[in-house]
Amino acid sequence: MFSKIFPKIHAEGYKFLVIAGIITIIFYIFSNFLGLVGLVLSIWVYYFFRDPDRIIINDDNYLVSPADGEIIKVEEVDGPKELGLENKKFKKISIFMNVFDCHVNRTPCSGKIEEILYKPGKFLNASLDKASEDNERNYYKIKDTNNNDIVVVQIAGLVARRIVCESNKDQDLKQGDRIGMIRFGSRADIYYENYEPLVKIGQTSTAGETLLAKK
């Protein structure tokens, strides 16, 4: 019960929480009102960096969501050219994370990471189409247990300024494992083959729990 009300936070959040706490103390020196503003800021920082445990289905017939947020695209596209997959057709689901969503990202399937590729870029609104080509982003190419190519892309947004990768090439993953996070408002794309989508645009997803697609 306690862990649901006060979930653990991601390691990236501790320094921001300390900074917010110092600002709160300084604000209180000047006025109670400013101190209250600082306290609200500190609570928001804690909430943003929360890293709650999730209940994972652990079923190779499904892909789970890599991110919390809103489904903004469900479409068929060419694969990402950055990974040499531009001549291969994939289905793609895009998930937009606002600043109130949990920003810890998880793998949609069990498998092995074949490639990780970081691309520097701009910080446009992550919900825009061109964000997938222009913004800072990080690619994870995963070979699932059914020998399918699954690609997860972390895309930095208008506010986000750092993509955190916590995985390595050739790493074995279990469905729902944490692979990284993005700080302050962003998007996650998942490219997949040989699965059928289970979600629609406008639906809310929960990382590691929402079933995105089924074989």
Annotated active-site positions, please?
Answer: 186
Q: Of 111, 131, 133, whose CA–CA distance to 187 is shortest? A: 131
The length of the chain in residues reads 215
CB distance 215 to 194 below 8 Å: yes
Q: Fill in the amino acid letter for 83.
A: L
Q: And the tokens for 102? A: 């949990």
Give the DSSP per-residue string, 42-88. HHHHHHHTB---------TTEEE-SSSEEEEEEEEEEPPGGGT-TTS
Q: What are phi and psi of 205, to 5 degrees?
A: -120, 155
Structural element, H or E, at residue 14: helix 13-30
Rounded Cα distance between 143 and 155, Å, is 21
Rounded Cα distance between 156 and 133, Å, is 11
Number of CB atoms found within 10 A of residue 149's CB: 19
